[in-house]
Amino acid sequence: MIVAEPKPLQEVALSVSGYKNVLILGCGTCVSVCLTGGDKEAGILAEELSSSKYFKENQPSFIVKTIERQCEKDMVEAYLEMPPDTDAIISMACGAGVQTVSEIYKKLPVLPALNTTFIGALDESGLWREKCQGCGDCILALTGGICPVARCAKKLFNGPCGGSSKGKCEINPDVDCAWHMIIERLEGLGRTDHYSRIIPFRDWSTDRGGGPRKLVRPDRTSTVAVS
Amino acid sequence: MSFFKVNHNCNGCLSCVQNCPANALSHRDEGSKRTLMHNISLCARCGNCWRICPQKAVEFQGILNGQWDEVTTMELVHCMICGEPLYTDNFKKAMDGKLEYEPAALCPLHKKTFSLDAWRHLAFDEKAVERSA
Stretch (H or E) spanning A126: none
Q: What is the mean pLDDT of chain A?
A: 94
Element (H, E) at A189: helix A178-189
Is residue A78's pLDDT more than 70? yes
- For residue B45, the chain A residues in CB contact (below 8 A) are 68
Residue in A31, A89, A98 with CA at minimum distance from that of residue A64: A89
pLDDT bracket for residue A215 (50, 70, 90): very high
Rounded to an integer, the average pLDDT of B34-50 is: 93
Look at A42-46, A216-220, B59-63 and tell me which has the smallest mean pLDDT.
A216-220
Report the run of H or E that residue A44 belongs to, with start and end. Answer: helix A39-50
The residue among B86 and A218 whose pLDDT is bigger is B86
CA distance linking residue A88 with residue A107, whole number of Å: 9
B71 pLDDT band, cuts 50/70/90, is very high
**pLDDT grade for B117, boundaries at 50, 70 and 90:** low
Give the chain B residue nearest A222 (alpha carbons): B52
pLDDT in the model for residue B83: 96
pLDDT-derived band at A227 (thresholds 50, 70, 90) equals very low
Nearest of B86, B27, B83, B50 to residue A77 by alpha carbon: B50
Would you give the distance in Å from CA A56 to the centre of its chain? 33
* Predicted local distance difference test score (pLDDT) of residue A226: 45
Q: Which residues in A77-196 belong to E strands, given as ranges?
A: 88-91, 110-112, 114-124, 127-132, 168-169, 172-176
Residues A68, B45: C-beta atoms closer than 8 Å: yes
Q: What is the pLDDT of residues A172-188, one digit of tens each?
A: 999 999 999 999 999 99
Q: Do B60 and A79 touch (CB under 8 A)?
A: yes
pLDDT in tens, B88-110: 999 999 998 888 888 889 999 88
Residue A204: which residues within 8 A CB-CB, separation 6 or more? Answer: A135, A210
Which pLDDT does position A222 carry in this prediction? 59
Instruction: Please compute the mean of the pLDDT values over residues A12-18 and round it to a whole number.
Output: 95
Closest Cα in chain B, distance from residue A12 (Å): 28
d(CA A7, CA A16): 13
- The C-alpha atoms of residue A173 and residue A177 are separated, in whole angstroms, by 9
A186's enclosing H/E stretch is helix A178-189
A–B CB contacts, 8 A cutoff, strictly below:
16
Q: Which residues of A touch B60 (CB under 8 A)?
A: 75, 78-79
Backbone angles phi, psi at A120, to 5 degrees: -140, -175
Residue-wise pLDDT for A40-73, tens only, equals 999 999 999 998 788 888 899 999 999 999 999 9
> Could you read off the pLDDT of A84-140 as tens digits, one per residue?
999 999 999 999 999 999 999 999 999 999 999 999 999 999 999 999 999 999 999
pLDDT for the residue A225: 45
Distance from C-alpha of B18 to C-alpha of B25, rounded to nearest angstrom:
8
The residue type of B62 is: G
Q: How far apart are CA A75 and CA A81, in angstroms?
A: 11
Q: What is the pLDDT of residue B67?
A: 84
For residue B131, the model assigns a pLDDT of 53
Helix, coil or strand: residue A118? strand
pLDDT digits (tens, 9 = 90+) for B73-85: 999 999 998 999 9
The whole-number pLDDT of residue A221 equals 75
Higher local confidence (pLDDT), B104 or B129: B104
Closest partner CB to A79 (pick from B51, B52, B64): B64
Least confident of A103-107, A222-226, B34-38, B104-108: A222-226
Distance of CA A185 to CAs A107, A178, B21, B73, Å?
52, 10, 32, 48
**Cα Rg of chain B (Å, integer):** 27
Distance from the B64 Cα atom to the nearest Cα atom in chain A, whole angstroms:
7
- In this prediction, residue A149 carries a pLDDT of 96
Q: Which of A153-162, B47-56, B69-78, B124-133 has the lowest mean pLDDT?
A: B124-133
Res A176: pLDDT: 96
Q: Worst-scoring range by mean pLDDT, A26-40, A67-81, B99-113?
A: B99-113
